[in-house]
Amino acid sequence: MRIISGKYRSLVLAGFKGGDIRPTADRVKENLFNIISARVPSARVLDLFCGSGALGLECISRGAAGVHFNDVSRESLAVLGKNLKKLRGESCYKITNLDFKLCLNSAKTQYDIIFLDPPYRTEAGAEALNIIASRNLLSDGGIAVLERDRPFSGGAEGLGMYDERKYGITYLSFFKKL
């Protein structure tokens, strides 16, 4: 894993040992950021199921105003900590160690970009979209991006899916406010 572009381009990121964690592949991440690159500078970003922090770190490298990293796993946050140390004193981020529902329900700001990369075997992404919609956590013009191993079906009242892309076994679904 590496940072693809921006201030920290080519920086190699720490990852996880073993096969239990599924980081976003560089190819998927590169395609994602080709789609959303114009939105990133000065954006307020929430990386809700952050894992190693690869998506939020990419945003910092590309000039995001701030990134909120959240994960329920202390192991994930330890890897994130190793990666943040590589950013030479950046301070435009905050970290929380909360269940995604608690994180969303305690949010006091709107975000321009929200990344949702929950464990594939759960419906946490759909649940998170419903909370995001009900709490109005997306700014006007903001987007939420859900990563899954299958196409998205269902909905979240107040959010509409406007695009979906498939990369290998990974689907990226893009949502905006209605």
**Residue 96 falls inside a structural domain:** yes
Please list the pLDDT of the chain residue by residue as tens digits (178 residues): 899 999 999 999 998 775 455 567 889 999 999 999 999 999 999 999 999 999 999 999 999 999 999 999 999 999 999 999 999 888 999 999 999 999 999 999 999 999 999 998 889 999 999 999 999 999 999 999 999 999 999 888 999 999 999 999 999 999 999 9
Predicted confidence at residue 21, as pLDDT, reads: 57
Question: Residue 154: its pLDDT value, please?
Answer: 83
Question: What is the number of structural domains in the chain?
Answer: 1
In a domain, 17, yes or no: no
Q: How far apart are CA 99 and CA 177, in angstroms?
A: 24
Do 104 and 132 touch, CB atoms closer than 8 A?
Answer: yes
In a domain, 66, yes or no: yes
Residue 139 CA to its chain's centroid (Å): 16
Is 3 part of a structural domain of the chain?
A: no
62: domain CATH number is 3.40.50.150
Instruction: Return the structure tokens found at 77.
Output: 């946050």
Residue 123 resides in a domain:
yes
Q: What is the pTM of this model?
A: 0.95
H/E segment holding residue 60: helix 54-61
Give me the pLDDT at residue 98, please.
98
Strand-strand pairing, 138-148 and 111-116: parallel
- For 13, 69, 168, the CA distances from 47, given in Å and listed in that order, are 16, 5, 22
Range(s) of the domain holding residue 158: 31-177
Report the pLDDT value the prediction gives residue 15, as an integer from 0 to 100. Answer: 86
Tell me what pLDDT residue 66 has: 98
Query: What is the full DSSP assignment across 68-135?
Result: EEE-S-HHHHHHHHHHHHTTTT--SEEEE---HHHHHHH--S-EEEEEE---TTSSHHHHHHHHHHHT
Q: Does residue 21 lie within any of the structural domains?
A: no
Is 137 inside any structural domain? yes
Report if residue 169 sits inside a domain.
yes
